[in-house]
Copies of this chain bind each other. A is one copy, B any other.
Amino acid sequence: MADGIKNKVAIIGMGCTKFGERWEMGSEDLMIEAFKEVMEDAGIEKKDIQAAWYGSCFDEVNVGKAATPLSLALKLPFLPVTRVENFCATGSEALRGAAYAVASGAYDICLALGSEKLKDTGYGGLPEMSTAMGTKNRFIMPGLTAPGGFAMMATRYFSKYGISPEEGKKILARISIKSHKNGVKNPKAHLRREITEAQALNAPMIAWPLGLFDCCGVSDGAAAAIVCRADLAKNFRPDPVYIKALQIAISSGEEMMYTDWDGTYVQTATVCAERAYKEAGITKPREEINMMEVHDCFSITELVAMEDLQISERGKAGYDVMDGFFDIDGKIPCQPDGGLKCFGHPIGASGLRMMYEMYKQLQGKAGDRQINDPKIGLTHNMGGFPAMNLISVCIAGL
């Protein structure tokens, strides 16, 4: 039966724009900026690319429907290009499409590129989730915003595990402080500054208990990867990064919304991680994984992800956070590039931005934020509200 794509596909190049308020740049400009870096990094020419996967969530503020915008922006005539969209996991899906195509034998070398001009959506204005996920998506509670939904996760988490609001707020603050401390060393990060505990705790409230510094950046940006048949990868560079597992899982709603789901975990993430660990041959994730980029759209999301991914025990991730387990010099450094929190979150690009950092860290090329000799990295990219979501987990190593 199906034996997976493990070790069939390598990443031989990555590129990522500066994330932030890129008002001066159009979608095409962002694509070109990421493309230039990925091509230089892979050391290939346009003619070497045989197909591409393009991730973009909000076509209405990018350059329109279909995959033609990529062909036009990058001037790649007659190239097969496919647009994928899976909300906040769109960038990971671009890589997944390219990876399957290479593993299938259809192509040797493919481009995956994700891009989003998120500032132009007015998304920072906190639309209802039902609107953000399509015009009045009928599966999302009317009136629910992203911060509102994740705030409920936080209050319920505190309640279930007997954490006082004061303790809880400090744990969440510690998560964001760590991400900003990492991201300040990252010239591409959107919100490149350190924050103090006092700043985090006294910040304007967005949706209680989530304050301003519990929420990720709303950013413009693009990121890209060149993937290649694993057996050809060393023709291009001495240090390709191999994909060990690439899985997605989607909630069908009913197993969470209409059952006894208490909002303190994301079952889709656990299912997806189990599949990825199986594909990668990982039996003890807490011991075997050396660095992570997880989907920290909100501080509480990162906390819960650590439990969903079987790194921390249920209800205990806060101890790991406070112990510095996820710090840059901890056991499993998490968000070494600053994460969604500090690096920013241009929706179609974020999954590939995570992979960019994993790739650089595994190659030992992460500069000032380099962690100590990682061998196995993991990215975790979530789309949608926890009750109706999709998760991508990618595991890679040198």
Contacts and interface: CB of A to CB of B under 8 A. Distances in A.
B108 A65 contact: no
Interface of A: 1-5, 8, 50, 57, 59-69, 71-72, 74-87, 93, 96-97, 99-108, 130, 132-139, 229, 247-255, 267-268, 271-272, 383-384, 388-390
Central interface residue in A72, A100, A137, A389, by most chain B CB within 10 Å: A100
Nearest to A138: B63
Central interface residue in A78, A99, A107, A271, by most chain B CB within 10 Å: A78
A134 B64 contact: yes
B79 A82 contact: no
A75 B78 CA distance: 38
Contacts of A254: 72, 75, 77
Contacts of A136: 64
Contacts of A80: 247-250
A66 B65 CA distance: 14
A147 B25 CA distance: 33
B105 A60 contact: no
Contacts of A93: 82
Contact of A253 (B71, B87, B130, B255): B71
A58 B65 CA distance: 9
Q: State the number of copies, please.
A: 2
Nearest to A131: B64
Contacts of A247: 80
Given A75-B254, A77-B254, A78-B255, 6 more contacts: A2-B106, A66-B86, A68-B389, A75-B252, A78-B249, A83-B84
Given A248-B82, A390-B68, A2 B135 contact: no
A130 B268 CA distance: 38
15 contacts: A2-B108, A64-B134, A65-B85, A65-B133, A68-B133, A68-B388, A69-B134, A72-B252, A72-B253, A72-B388, A79-B249, A81-B390, A83-B84, A84-B84, A103-B104
A98 B384 CA distance: 23
Nearest to A247: B80
B69 A139 contact: yes
Central interface residue in A102, A107, A138, by most chain B CB within 10 Å: A138
A71 B250 contact: yes
Nearest to A73: B252
Contacts of A135: 59-61, 64
A204 to B, nearest CB: 29
Contact of A77 (B65, B84, B251): B251
Nearest to A132: B65
- Please provide the 3 A-B residue pairs with the shortest distance between their CB atoms, ordered closest to farther: A64-B134, A64-B137, A103-B104
B2 A64 contact: no
Nearest to A267: B78
A99 B198 CA distance: 53
Given A135-B60, A248-B80, A100 B106 contact: yes
A2 B107 contact: yes
Given A78-B250, A134-B59, A135-B61, A383 B66 contact: yes
Contact of A139 (B72, B97, B104): B72
B139 A390 contact: no
Contact of A68 (B60, B75, B251): B251
Contacts of A59: 85, 134-135
Nearest to A1: B108
